[in-house]
Copies of this chain bind each other. A is one copy, B any other.
Amino acid sequence: MFSNGLIQITLIQIDNYGRWTSSLGYDREDKLQILQASLYTDVQRFFSSLGGIAFFHSFDTMMAVTNGIDEGSHRRIQSEICSRYPISVSMSVGVSSTAYKAQRWASEELIKRNTSPVHSQRMILINSEKIVDEGGGLVQIAHFDVDDSTKLFLDTRSAYDAALAIDRSFQTLAFLLKEKEALLFFCGGDNFISPCNGLSTSELHEIITAVYEETGVKFKVGVGLAQKAREALKFAAMGLDEIRAGKYPGPIKLFSKIYTDQLK
């Protein structure tokens, strides 16, 4: 959408997790679930206190949008986690014009280390030299939620069926967003959040129209653009709220709120 919209993605991975879980014996599933969710709350606390946002993603690997968060802060987060948990985390940072490319770059570096002969990694920070200067980039984030989800899902299906149906629409939406190099994360209930640098409003319209035609599920979308992720999310939430207030009552509901200071 804007030429200088570099997005910075940090991949956070629990080190040597498989080996550690085995050390707990067989009666461990509850402990793993508690560890993963606790760790996520701490990772989220750290990054959001610095203006970023973290996603639970695949639970043992998390992703955060970290524009404006520097190498020292990444290292401090790693060392604080070490001081609170029986495990450590490695991090890899990618910066690119799209969220997809940023995470792919971060992934590739992490995989290289994982598959090296010295497989047992512990608390490395990769690509820290790529971290963008504060102000050097802009984050674009879209917040999707299902229109009239109560009627569509929650009051007409069992809780399990509703969640399965929502996950199916997640798959469809994620597939279309990936073609535009945008990511999508599930954030609870019927809420999906997409770091989507470079995606235009009309492309968003096309995507949610296509999802509607394919699945019958209508989405509302708010979009925010700002120097840091939390602020972009705030604008996206404002956009969604204006839609809910009935200001944009088109058949496909889309609203994009833009941080105007960046647009001059």
Contacts and interface: CB of A to CB of B under 8 A. Distances in A.
A54 B36 CA distance: 13
Interface in A52-108: 53-54, 56-61, 63, 79-80, 82-86, 100, 103-104, 106-108
A35 B84 contact: yes
B83 A188 contact: no
Copies of this chain, complex-wide, total 4
Contact of A234 (B26, B37, B58, B157): B26
A144 interface: no
Given A36-B188, A44-B34, A86-B82, A111 B24 contact: no
The 9 tightest CB contacts between A and B, nearest first, are A59-B188, A30-B48, A107-B158, A104-B158, A31-B83, A26-B237, A58-B163, A27-B234, A37-B37
18 contacts: A13-B159, A22-B241, A24-B83, A26-B241, A30-B44, A30-B230, A31-B84, A33-B44, A37-B37, A37-B56, A57-B160, A58-B163, A58-B188, A85-B86, A103-B158, A104-B161, A111-B154, A114-B154
